[in-house]
Amino acid sequence: MNNQISRSMLTKYLIKPILPKSFSDNELHALLRVLIHSQLHGYIAHKACNIDAYPIAFKRHLLSIKTFSKAQYLQVVKACKTISHDLVSLGEPALLLKGAAYIAANKANSKGRLISDIDILVAKAHLPEVERLLTSNGWAPKELDDFDEKYYREWSHELPPYTHLETGVTLDIHHNLLPGTSGKTINITDIIATKQSTNLGLFVPKDEYLILHSAIHLLLNDDIAKGLRDCLDLHYLMYDYVQNNNLKTLQDVFTKANCEQEFFVLLNLLTKLFTADVAIYANEILAKNNKPKYISIATDLEKAVFPATPYLADSTNSYARFKVYLRGHLSKMPLPLFVKHMVFKAYRTLAKKLLGEYVFKKEYSSKA
């Protein structure tokens, strides 16, 4: 009995979630497991056609996660209004990013989109005031040791995460879309100046920048555990975008951010995953501008974004994942800094195993 599904079966189902009659019970079980692993079961619960035709266990799970995603939507709405209230005196608006932005802007991929935290973008000059306002309104930063604190403050494009002490909501505060060590140039002023309003008291970037950030998060990341979900996000964002906009305008935004390579890698990747639906916006521009390097990077990503689970055939692409991991780190920092960073991380890991998990904690160090 086949207890796996193929990658092509999965991607076809994601685009058109109609349950094939030919699926065996084992394949249905594998499909559900892969959807859960990919954090796509909430999306399917809202998009799937004729849920009553599904086996009872599958149906119950979809109905359960659909209820959960609706409750999470209400939580996101409430959290956004809380953040807007807490930052009302900031003088400059905060912009939502990623999942919360999709939900607030009611994007095509927002129904059933599960999120673990809320991401916002503010100008770097306003960070001290943002932190002051948050801490005075019931938010607390994640407790970090000195090395991690230094990493966030000096190298990262975001602050350490904040958690609301009453609701438990986690907030990631970005001041750029990429670390300054990446060599990319992204003008945050342009993003803030072209913001779009929502009814939640916060703003979202215009569609070009929403796509740019989602692409950067996927293509220049060392961790793509949720890569397939991000690819589906990007497909629907892109598909919606080209209905009303010229793809050349989007390309210009990527080029200005020194991310033209990422633009063509993205088109190649989405074409590999969702061929028929992507052809409408990708084929013509790829025919004129494609390069072997773009295809090679996209090929690695296409293998790596699928979850490593025994329920998915051909999912053990450890070499491709390693290449993506390495490329993701090197895209954020030059090689000397990367080597220093990895050596220090290895030292810390070894020290924790030998001396205990709390050896680098500030409280431990201060008492020693």
pLDDT single digits (tens) 324-355: 888 887 777 666 666 776 776 776 777 777 77
Amino acid in position 256: K
Of the candidates 37, 5, 29, 223, the one whose C-alpha atom is nearest the C-alpha of residue 114 is 37
Per-residue tokens: 288:
């004129």
Q: How many domains does the chain have?
A: 1
The pLDDT value given to residue 344: 67
248 CB burial (10 A radius; 0-12, 13-18, 19+): exposed
Q: What value, to the nearest 5°, has the Cα angle with vertex 193 and ends 190 and 196?
A: 115
**Is 131 part of a structural domain of the chain?**
yes
**Is 274 part of a structural domain of the chain?**
yes
The pLDDT value given to residue 25: 87
Per-residue tokens: 237:
């964002």
At 65-114, the pLDDT tens digits run 999 999 999 999 999 999 999 998 988 889 999 999 999 999 989 999 99
Spatial separation of the C-alpha atoms in residues 155 and 307, rounded to whole Å: 29
Give me the chain's average pLDDT, please. Answer: 87
CB 326 within 8 A of CB 20: no
The pLDDT value given to residue 104: 94
**Is 366 part of a structural domain of the chain?**
no
Amino acid in position 260: E
Per-residue tokens: 178:
């990429």
Spatial separation of the C-alpha atoms in residues 84 and 93, rounded to whole Å: 8
CB 177 within 8 A of CB 189: no
Of the candidates 314, 281, 286, the one whose C-alpha atom is nearest the C-alpha of residue 298 is 286
Residue 340 CA, distance from chain mean position: 27
The pLDDT value given to residue 352: 73
3 state DSSP class of 12: helix
Other Cβ atoms within 10 Å of 112 Cβ, number: 22
| Highest averaged pLDDT of the listed ranges 46-50, 151-155, 301-305, 357-361 | 301-305
What's the alpha-carbon Rg for the chain, to the nearest Å? 21
3 state DSSP class of 163: strand
**Is 349 part of a structural domain of the chain?**
no
Amino acid in position 294: Y
**Is 298 part of a structural domain of the chain?**
yes
Q: What value, to the nearest 5°, has the Cα angle with vertex 358 and ends 355 and 363?
A: 130
| Highest averaged pLDDT of the listed ranges 248-252, 281-285, 359-363 | 248-252
CB 213 within 8 A of CB 177: yes
Across residues 157-170, what is the average pLDDT?
93
Per-residue tokens: 205:
């970037």
φ, ψ dihedrals at 96, nearest 5°: -75, 150
**Is 352 part of a structural domain of the chain?**
no
Please tell me which residue, 197 or 154, carries the higher pLDDT value: 197
**Is 310 part of a structural domain of the chain?**
yes
Other Cβ atoms within 10 Å of 57 Cβ, number: 12
The pLDDT value given to residue 361: 63
Residue ranges making up the domain that contains 301? 7-333
Across residues 6-31, what is the average pLDDT?
89
The pLDDT value given to residue 1: 45
**Is 365 part of a structural domain of the chain?**
no
CB 341 within 8 A of CB 333: yes
CB 316 within 8 A of CB 308: yes
Please tell me which residue, 181 or 44, carries the higher pLDDT value: 44
